[in-house]
Every structure is written in C-alpha cells, then in structure tokens.
Amino acid sequence: MSNDTKKTSYNPPALEFKSSTFSVPVLVLSSDDLILIEQQLQGKIRLAPEFFKNSPLVLDVQEINKHNIEIDIVAVIELIRKLGLLPIGIRGGNAQQNENMIGLGIPIHSIHTSSTTVETKKPPKAQIPEPETKDLLQTGTTLITHPIRSGQRVYAAGDLVIVAPVSPGTEILAEGNIHVYGALRGRALAGVQGNTEARIFCHDLQAELISIAGNYKISEDLNPNVRNKPVQIYLDKHTLVIKEI
C-alpha cells in the first residue's frame, strides 16, 4: 500500500531545458602552417591575456576548405589547448574533419551566416521569412479584456492595452506603451527593451511600481496628488513625469 503511494508521489522537476545564446570567439584559419598559426595566436593572446585565459573558442575552417588546403585539424586543436584556450566546437569542416572532431569530443556547429557552400545555403534562406512575419505580428498591439489577477504576468512585444482592472501582485510589461482602462494596482513596466519614448496611460493610478525604460518609481514615492487619478506617465530626460489627464 505504501509502495503504491510512493510510486504516484509528486516529484518536482529536477531539470528543464532552456535555450541560450552565447557570445564565443571564433578562430578563422586561413593557413595550414602550424608554426605560423602558433606564433600569431600567441601574439594575439599576449595582447589580452586575461580575456583569452581559459576562453571557449570555436574553430572555423571554412576558409581553408574553400581553398582546398590540407590541414592537420587534430594538431590545431592540440595547439589551441596548449595555448590555454578551450575549443568547444568546429564549423565549416568537411566530413573527415568533422569525424575527427567528434572523436575528440568536440561538437560540430553549422554555419548560419551567409555561406558559400551549396548545402548550407538553402536552409537559412527558407527560415528567413518566418521570424520576419513573427516580428511584424509581435510589434502590434496586445489587447486584454479580462482582469489581470494577482500573480499573473503579461508581456507584450508591442503596445499593451488592458480594458479591465490590474490587480496588486501582477506584472505587466510592454516593449511599447501600456494602456490600462481600469485601476492599475500592480507593477507596470513600459519600454522594457529600452524605448524611452514609451508611455503608461491608466484610468486610476494605484500602481505598486511604474517604470519606463528602466527608470522606475515605487508606490511610496508617488505623489498623493496623482494617486487614484487618470494619468499618463512619460520620460523627460531620465525623469518620470506623471501628469493627470
């Protein structure tokens, strides 16, 4: 009996997958001369030793392969490691090179920038229209007609229009303007991607926090004159201005 309940017991998730973009230096080779590569790489490292110390690095052999230069890729990896860098991938390699890399436990990256090789040319082109239309849709206006309840969070890539009350304990964020045709009692953050022209409009200001492009005011700092009133909030030289309307 007790075993049964154990089996069905609720386990909180121990992990989740997320996608992130990292900025990693890419080493583009244009010569097969290992001695020359070592000398020049050392020179670069000497310019900024702290930056290159244990820095991850992606090796790009596209140029070399374009000119059909033979290179001992395994030796290059050894060289990079010897100089204190940590290779975490290769791109633009041919089948043999890629196989060698996998053998060394180094992942293969595909090329997303404009490429000269035929097989990598097609997929990026096909993908381009999708994000573009998405962008167009996202920069439109998000309209919400139901009350925003405590604990809820709303994010709009463009303007956000809410024709209902916004409860305390909520967070409404927009890259553009925020309009609340009801009482604003939660946190409202407009221009969250840095748009200093964004404004907040609300019917009844009782917000916990208001912010435009990172310039914020908490409830306690709000002037009692503008409380419980229809107002607009905008930025004037990094200062939040709250005006009755």
Partner 1 sequence: MARIIVVTSGKGGVGKTTTSAAIAMGLAKKGHKTAVIDFDVGLRNLDLIMGCERRVVYDFVNVINGEASLNQALIKDKNCNMLYILPASQTRDKDALTQEGVGKVLEDLSKDFKYIVCDSPAGIEKGAHLAMYFADDAFVVTNPEVSSVRDSDRMLGILASKSKRAEENKEPIKEYLLLTRYSPERVRLGEMLSVDDVQEILSLHLLGVIPESKSVLNASNSGIPVILDEKSDAGQAYSDIVARYLGENKPHRFIDDKKGFFGKLFGSK
Per CB under 8 A, residues contacting partner 1 are 1, 4-5, 8-10, 146-152, 164-165, 167-169, 183, 185
Nearer residue to partner 1 within complex by CB, 124 or 147:
147
Nearer residue to partner 1 within complex by CB, 6 or 46:
6
Cβ 148 to partner 1, closest distance in Å? 8
Instruction: Say which residues have a Cβ less than 8 Å from residue 61's Cβ, sequence separation at least 6.
Output: 29, 71, 73, 90, 91, 92, 93, 97
Nearer residue to partner 1 within complex by CB, 4 or 220:
4
Cβ 196 to partner 1, closest distance in Å? 31
Nearer residue to partner 1 within complex by CB, 122 or 146:
146
Do residues 213 and 196 touch, judged by C-beta distance below 8 A? Answer: yes
Q: Quick one: tokens of 239?
A: 């200062």
Nearer residue to partner 1 within complex by CB, 59 or 148:
148
Cβ 232 to partner 1, closest distance in Å? 22
Cβ 106 to partner 1, closest distance in Å? 43
Residue found by looking up tokens 């017991």 in the block = 9
The 3-state secondary structure of the chain reads: CHHHHHHHCCCCCCCCCCCCCCCCCEEECCCCCHHHHHHHHHHHHHHCHHHHCCCEEEEECHHHHHCCCCCCHHHHHHHHHHCCCEEEEEECCCHHHHHHHHHCCCCEECCCCCCCCHHHHHHHHHHCHHHHHHHHHHCCEEEECCCECCCCEEEECCEEEECCCECCCCEEEECCCEEEEEEECCEEEECCCCCCCCCEEEEEECCCEEEECCEEEEHHHCCCCCCCCCEEEEEECCEEEEEEC
Cβ 200 to partner 1, closest distance in Å? 20
Cβ 186 to partner 1, closest distance in Å? 10
Nearer residue to partner 1 within complex by CB, 123 or 151:
151
Nearer residue to partner 1 within complex by CB, 185 or 187:
185
Cβ 165 to partner 1, closest distance in Å? 6
